[in-house]
Structures are given as C-alpha cells and as structure tokens.
Structure 1
Amino acid sequence: MRIRPFAALSVVAVSTLLLAGCSGSADPNATPTPTSTASSECLLDAQPGADSDAIEVTGSGADLAATLPDTLAFEDVERTIVTEGSGDDVVSGDLVSGFYTLYDGSTGEVLQDSSDTSADDSGAVPIIMDPQQYSLFVAALECAPVGSTVAMSIPGSAFGEGASPVVIVAETTDFIPTSADGAEQDPVDGMPTVELDDDGAPTITVPAEEPPTEVQIAELKKGDGPVVESGDTVFVQYTGVKWSDGSVFDSSWDRGQPTAFQTTGVVAGFQQALEGQTVGSQVLVVIPPEFGYGASEGHELQDETLVFVVDILGVQRAAAQQ
C-alpha cells in the first residue's frame, strides 16, 4: 500500500527521535563520503554509517532510485551525502524543489516517489523544511548544499512499535522563492489595498465601509505555474487581517517561513481562493463569516469577515492510495 509520507511519516515520534539532538553512529571503517559542515542551524546533522554508505543510489531527477542491500541493520539514523551540491546549505525554514524516493527498508518496496505527487512532468516537488510537519525531510536534507543527493536509513522504532524501517534517497535542485513572482495585475475597485515590503510581505488596508456578504477574490499577481486542484497540498505565504479593525490575526511571514496545507483542510472561502489559481500567483480574498468560521461556535473569529493575501509558491498533488 502506498502512503503519503507527509502525513504518515512526519509524526511526533519521528521528530522526537530524529530532531532531539541524537546523532548517527558512523562506522570509522566505512568508505569516506562527502559531509557538509555542521552549523548552529542543524537540528540533527545525521552522520554517515555502514547502512547509509551501503545504499546504492542511481540516476537523478525523476530517475532517482536506490538499491537496498539485505544486510542493512537499521540500528541508528544514518545519512550519507552521495553527491555534494554547490549551492548554499539547506536549513530549517527553507523551501526547496527536489526529488525523492521512499522505500520500505524491510522489503525494498517503493512506498512513494516524488513523481507520484509532482504537479508537472518534471517529477519535482516543493519540499518545505518544517520540523513540525515534515521532520523526515528536514532530517534528510538539512545542512547539505542545494544540488546534493543524500541517502538516509531510519530504524522502524522512529515510526512506532512494530513499524518497518525506512530508506529515503533525495535530491534538491534549487531554492523556491518565498514570495509570489507572477505578473502584477490591476487592482480591483472596492477591495482592500495591499502594499508589499522589500521581502514581499504584505500590509493590508481595509476600506472604511461595510464588508461584503459573498466571497470576493482578486489576483494581485498572476503566475504561470501549475494549477492548484482540489485536495492538493499548497505551499504558501499568507497574512490574514480582520475587516472589523484591520488587525493581523495570523501570518506565515511573522513566523519566518512558508507553510503548507491541503486545500480541503481550510475554511471554504480560503479554499475558493486557492483552487484554480496558478503557482506564482498572489491572491487577495475577502471571506465573510458564512464562508469562514461562522459555524464554529465560540471561535474567536466566528463573527469576523477575514481578509487574506496569499502567495502561492508551490503545489503537490495528493498521492494515489492503493
């Protein structure tokens, strides 16, 4: 059965084991492999060992694959940088494009590869280095230069009692811009106004008038990337303010990194604003309570009309369940 690693592998147990300061026990007799210099921003900086060195990695991009020997012991978390890229190191909070293949370490079965969820023919996907959601990928890719290919072995104990060990091979290709880069569009009369700072973070000014009763959507920038479909995972920056007083109630910009979620996991008005848009677009949406938190009794935003500016940075399709 195929699984979605973002949902099934990036669990608290993984974060606890992989990102709590433990380190792989490198085999001093193993073949030397390139390693990145650890920095203060590294959460794990897993080291190479006999298992990760023994994983035979072939191909690159959409053809990235590995052969798993049947001698893997899976006693510890190990990572080998198979080829070292020439870009800046990838650290927590970054958004990158890349490729990966996940294997069941016990059987060698492919659990999922990036081509399963890529939004285009390239096979590449956005990968966000968020230890709270995607700790598996943080552990595999952190503190290695962009352009690197890595092999990582993880014992089954990371995923719970009786779980199978996992092998991941992954390659990063580039950093993804953290603000929308689409073509600027003409403003829409009557909508809130938006000013961007040098980094692209928006300041939203709400009109001094009654809020609308229907969802209103305007494109501030039009990207030329893949179209967001229902159920996709979108990688975004956003800021939300209340129409009532213009105050910010939520912002990925304030947290210092983009975020990701499924379009079907947000309020109806936000979902309307995302689906059908293209990657690289910046969208302004006004959401009345009926299409926001109006039905959430006791929610602090239950009676509020909400205004969001959303930069759509990347998208990933839902993996087929088999």
Structure 2
Amino acid sequence: MRKTTALIAAIALLGSLTACASSTEASIAGCDRSLTSGAASSVVAATGKFGAAPKVTFPTPLYSATSQVSTIIAGTGAPIGAGQPVILEVTILNGANGTPLQTTSYNATGGSLITAGKSAFPAVSLGLECAQVGSRIAIVGSAKDSHGGTADATNGIGKNDSFVYVVDVKDAFLAKADGDDQIPVNGMPAVVLTAEGTPGISVPASAAPKTAKVNVLKKGSGETVKSEQFVAVKYTAIGWGTKTVFDSTWTDRQASILQVGTASVSTGLSTALIGQTVGSQVLAVLPPKAAATADGAGKAPTDDAAVYVVDILGIAG
C-alpha cells in the first residue's frame, strides 16, 4: 500500500524571525488555525500558475521560532479540517539562504499526499488546517517542526534553519467515513470507533472463515469506486488469530492511496472496495491467499486471516 511520499517524509525545518498573527489569516469562515500568519510567512512571495512550479522569493536569512502560514492565492473550496488527507504540490527551500531543497513533480494528474492536523510533519500538516482547495500557501516552519532542530551538514542545513514551503492545495478528502451506519452481520468482527474515527476491532472466538467475507459498516453517498482508480483511504488491519495490528494508517495520523484492481493491492481487498462508495466504511475478512498482493509487497500474514476496516475517503484519480 502506497503511503505518504518520501518527499513529505523529509518535510520538517524552521528558525527565528517571529511575528504577530494577522487576524485575517487566523481563521477562515470560523475555522481555527493551529498556525497563524506572521512577519516571516508574510514576506514569502511566489509567482507562476497554480499547480506549476513557482518562482519563490524572500529576504534571507529568514527564521521563525514558531511555524507560520500565509495565503498567497486564495482558493474557493471548503476549509480543510484536521484529519483530512490532502493532495498537494510543494517547493521547499532553506530559509537561511534560499537554497532549494526539494520539490514535488508538479504533474497535472499527480501530487503528494499528507494529512492535515497533528502528524510527524507538523510544519506542513498544521499549516494545511483551514486552507482551501485551490489555495497556494506559504509556510515558514520552525527548525523543530521542520527537521527536529538537527543539523545536516551534507545538505547545508543548520540546526536553527527554518524551512520555507510553498504549497499548492490541489484536492482534499474526507477525514473519516461519514456514511450511514449499517446493520452488523453475525459472526463478523465487531468494530468500535474513537471520536476521530480510529477503529478498534474485536474478533469472535470462532475460527476464521475460509472464504473472503465483506460487510459494509457505513454506507457513503459519494462516487463509486472503479477498478484501477486511485482511492484515498484510512485503514486498520489485524490478524484474526493473533488479534494484533499488522498495518494501520491511523498509527501515524496519515492516509494511503490504493490503486485497486492492480498488483499493489490484494485481490481480496480490491474486490471488497470496488463498487463501494466514497464515505463508506468496509469490513473485510480475507484468508491468506486473498490477502496476498501479486507484487509481494503486502504486509498481511501468510498463515492467518486478515481483518481490514477501511474508510473510503475519496477518489484521487
């Protein structure tokens, strides 16, 4: 299962040109931001078409002791809330000297995935809160939020350097399944949810079924999933016999993109998801053969049935 790209895993850095928050940036339509605009983020300029690699300028050295965010291009979509997976393009520069560090592909049909809110990538994930699809935002991340305050001599990064991120917000998906609750099926695992949507799975004492079983727990009203589409999901998977989690997106507060009906997703899971609708939550119990991926990259046990609870959050392409 394809998770957040390596680029986003590298996102984290900041420094010290602190400022007061701008009231116009502090909230959008009643959406309260974790980060606000300040003297550092407000001096970042970026020119060029939305969705294309921008030309970024700012005075150097640029530092901020706390992460800040300002809007360069205002979008028109609904404000993004914590937990929503976001498709974005981003250009990252060292605030100390303006050196480019990394960019995404800026492919018209692509982008990178990161979830808004608290995560392992706080500068960007918190900066996305209350942004709107179609927006270009400038984030100046503190050293702590960007790289943990650790110097990287190989890449010319000092321990106090801030990172500057210019982010194009291309799309956003549901934070969790929001469909109507369905009637549970006897003999299937029971699922309970936290307020944020994290599932807890209770497996019956009986033996696992020998054939794949699928139960829709929540029925969404969104688009229908088709074969070979890229689908944004959050999921937890446990072994029926071991009752332990072997894979979960909820652990690191992220989401995943699955291309259903391809070698990267097991036949059992693809079958369980194809034909379902966005907003649905699907419970699938898969014997080892049905849970195995053709490319051999899956994490499902080879000697135990796999139990998946999958929230279908959107179609990414």
CA-atom RMSD in angstroms: 5.5
Counterpart position of 1:184: 181
Q: Partner of 1:285 in structure 2?
A: 284
Cα displacement string for residues 88-130 of structure 1 (whole angstroms, at most 9, x for unaligned residues): 996xxx32266744358789xx955696349xxxxxx873457
Distance (whole Å) between structure 1 residues aligned to residue 22 and residue 87 of structure 2: 21
SS at match of 1:218: strand
Match in the other structure for 2:17: 26
Structure 1 unaligned residues grouped into runs of 5+ = 119-124, 318-322
8 Å Cα contact 2:234/2:249 also seen in 1: no
Is the contact made by 2:115 and 2:254 (CA closer than 8 Å) also made in structure 1?
no
Q: 1:247-266, aligned counterparts within 5 Å?
A: 247-250=243-246, 252=248, 255=251, 257=253, 259-263=255-259, 265-266=264-265
Q: Equivalents in 1 of 2:244, 2:256: separation in Å?
A: 19
- d(CA) in 2 for partners of 1:128, 1:215: 34
In 2 relative to 1, CA 96–308 (structure 1 residues): closer, same or farther, beyond 3 Å?
closer
SS of the residue aligned with 2:8? Answer: coil
Report the counterpart of residue 121 of structure 1 in structure 2.
none
- Distance change >3 Å, CA 114–CA 308, structure 1 → 2: same
- TM-score, structure 2 as length reference: 0.58
Task: Find the partner of 1:169 among 167, 170, 175.
Answer: 167
Rounded to whole Å, the distance in 2 between the matches of 1:68 and 1:236 is 34
Match of 1:240 among 233, 238, 241: 238
Are residues 249 and 99 of structure 1, via their aligned partners in 2, closer, same or farther at CA, if it must alter by over 3 Å? closer
Q: CA deviation at 1:280?
A: 0.9
Aligned-partner SS, 1:142: helix
2:316 equivalent in structure 1: 316
2:219 matches 1:222: yes
Deviations 1:189-214 (A, max 9, x none): 6x514243563534434362x43333
1:274 maps to a residue whose letter is L
Q: CA deviation at 1:287?
A: 1.2
Count, aligned residues = 275
Contact 2:84-2:116 within 8 A present in 1 as well: yes
Residue 320 (structure 1) aligns with: none
Q: Structure 1 221/54 Cα, relative in aligned 2: closer, same or farther at 3 Å?
A: closer
Verify the 8 A CA contact 1:55 1:67 in the aligned structure 2. Answer: no
Residue among 81, 87, 90 paired with 1:102 = 90
- How has the CA–CA distance of structure 1 residues 113 and 127 changed in structure 2, closer, same or farther, with 3 Å as cutoff? farther
Alignment of 1:213 with 2:202, yes or no, is no
Q: CA deviation at 1:166?
A: 7.6
1:234 shift after superposition:
2.5
The answer as to 2:3 corresponding to 1:10 is no
Which sections of structure 2, spanning at least 5 residues, go unmatched? 28-33, 94-98, 157-162
Hey, what does 2:115 align to over in structure 1? 127
Aligned AA for 2:139? M
CA contact (8 A) 1:99 1:114 kept: no
1:53 aligns with 2:10: no
Kindly tell me: are residues 5 and 33 of structure 1, through their superposed partners in 2, closer, same or farther at Cα, counting changes over 3 Å? farther
Sequence identity of aligned pairs in percent? 22
- Cα displacement string for residues 68-90 of structure 1 (whole angstroms, at most 9, x for unaligned residues): 356765866885423899x9996
Distance 1:33 1:101 in 2: 25
Distance 1:56 1:241 in 2: 48
What displacement does 1:254 show?
Answer: 7.3
Q: TM-score, normalised by structure 1?
A: 0.57
Q: Please state how far the C-alpha of 1:303 moved relative to its aligned partner.
A: 1.1
SS at 2:302's partner residue? coil
Q: Output the CA distance in 1 between the equivalents of 2:57 and 2:70.
A: 21
C-alpha distance in structure 2 between counterparts of 1:237 and 1:102, whole Å: 26
| 1:24–1:46 CA contact under 8 A, matched in 2 | no
Which of 195, 202, 205 is residue 204 of structure 1 equivalent to?
Answer: 202
Give the conservation status (yes or no) of the 8 Å contact 2:3–2:256. no
Query: Is the CA contact (8 Å cut-off) linking 1:234 and 1:312 kept in structure 2?
Result: yes
For 1:314, give the aligned amino acid: G
> Match of 1:183, as an amino acid?
D
Q: Which amino acid in the other structure matches residue 102 of structure 1?
A: V
The answer to whether the Cα contact below 8 Å between 1:36 and 1:145 also exists between their aligned partners in 2 is no
